[in-house]
Amino acid sequence: MYSNKFGRLMFGLKGLKATSACGAFQRAAARSGFNWAAVCKQRTLWQQRSACAGMHQTGSAIHTTVDPGEVKRFQLLANKWWDEEGEFAALHAMNDLRVPFVRDNLLNAQRERHPGQPLAGLRILDVGCGGGLLSEPLGRLGATVSGIDPVEDSVRIAQQHAAHDPDLRDRVSYRACTLEELAGEGEAQLEPEPEQGVTQFDAVVASEVVEHLADLDTFAVCCSRVLKPGGSLFITTLNKTNLSYALAIVVAEQLLHIVPRGTHDWEKFISPVELERLLESNGFLVQSVQGMLYNPISGAWSWTNNTEINYALHAVKQDDKAEDGSTPPGGHNEVAHS
């Protein structure tokens, strides 16, 4: 069992401002013998090594979202996706927030209502679907969900698990491929629409994915390509702060083992401001950003105004008319969460 001390240390920060959250962490860390200065020093060394490595790279973009090291890491965990008490327990619990986040924002932009199946008629792409932890509940809400993942064993597990539920067989499908392959191969699309060339979706979901990708520019371009004008992009990820480094990597991985060691690379984390800038440069308009906190004692997630650690983002792909400043479908009145 995790101690109450570390439970308060990690994620009992709801409602705190960034400065007070950091101060609370440092005070709790000092009482537990945790060396905050050493953590910051280690993170600085990582930044310096990353900068040096970047100086020796040529070319502008990698043009692939896949990091071979990440694929290998998740390949080893593929058989554990549906163990609700295992390595992916926090992702199972996150459905309490991310499923309503997707559902409510999509419903706010929809005029038609389907009692019992609120997302009926919508096509959703789940990028980095893993074992289908998010694809399945979205399918049960009536959406037609296509899950993609470069890890073949994860896709196999997802297919096997969905096959046990008759209600999902015609709604949820999976494919072992990358986002750029889906965006670029007209002949290999999921449920192809030849008249459009590239299959287009009403929504793209990338939950706990972008912090594992090799090239975020390619990710943003491909998301725009597979989305319909006015379509929604949903992202949950980790902010790039001292606090996220200390809690998500040092504490969660090295001390409490909530997730396997090496799961996260702090250099791949991205701040909401940077992510919004990237998306807007690729034709998106960010509608909402909401902080998220995980409590390892209760195993539950909660919403917060503090985005220093985890956050959820909703953006809408603008159409040609929105380019001149008009409001995209859904406008700015969309809900942040339920």
> With contact defined as beta carbons under 8 Å apart, do 203 and 175 qualify?
no
Is 117 domain-assigned?
yes
Q: Is there a binding annotation on residue 211? A: yes
Structure tokens at 155: 């896709």
Structure tokens at 92: 């199972």
Is 233 domain-assigned?
yes
Is 167 domain-assigned?
yes
Is 35 domain-assigned?
no
Residues 6+ away with beta carbon under 8 Å from 13:
21, 24, 25, 293, 304, 306, 308, 309
pLDDT at residue 108 above 60?
A: yes
The tally of domains found in the chain comes to 1
Structure tokens at 146: 């296509």
Structure tokens at 90: 């926090």
Rounded to 10°, the helix 18-32/4-11 angle is: 150
Q: Is there a binding annotation on residue 85? A: no
> With contact defined as beta carbons under 8 Å apart, do 13 and 306 qualify?
yes
> With contact defined as beta carbons under 8 Å apart, do 318 and 285 qualify?
yes
Q: Is there a binding annotation on residue 207? A: yes
Strands (E), the chain: 123-127, 144-149, 172-176, 201-207, 227-238, 284-295, 300-304, 310-317
Is 283 domain-assigned?
yes
In this structure, how many other beta carbons lie within 10 angstroms of the beta carbon of residue 127?
26
- In the prediction, which pLDDT does 17 show? 45
pLDDT at residue 199 above 90?
A: no
Is 144 domain-assigned?
yes
What residue numbers bound the domain in which 122 lies?
Answer: 68-188+198-239+266-317
Is 331 domain-assigned?
no
Backbone angles phi, psi at 281, to 5 degrees: -75, -10
Residue 120 burial (10 A CB sphere; 0-12, 13-18, 19+): middle
Q: Is there a binding annotation on residue 187? A: no
Is 303 domain-assigned?
yes
Element (H, E) at 277: helix 272-280
pTM for the predicted model, two decimal places? 0.76
CATH number at residue 91: 3.40.50.150
User: What are the pLDDT digits (tens) for 225-270?
Assistant: 999 999 999 999 999 998 887 878 877 767 777 777 767 788 899 9
- In the prediction, which pLDDT does 7 show? 40
Structure tokens at 192: 């192809």
- In the prediction, which pLDDT does 331 show? 44
User: What are the pLDDT digits (tens) for 57-68?
Assistant: 333 344 889 989
User: What are the pLDDT digits (tens) for 251-262?
Assistant: 776 777 777 776
pLDDT band at 188 (very low <50, low <70, confident <90, very high): very low
Q: Is there a binding annotation on residue 98? A: yes
Q: Is there a binding annotation on residue 43? A: no
- Separation of alpha carbons 219 and 206, rounded Å: 10
> With contact defined as beta carbons under 8 Å apart, do 256 and 296 qualify?
yes
Q: Is there a binding annotation on residue 128? A: yes
> With contact defined as beta carbons under 8 Å apart, do 106 and 148 qualify?
no
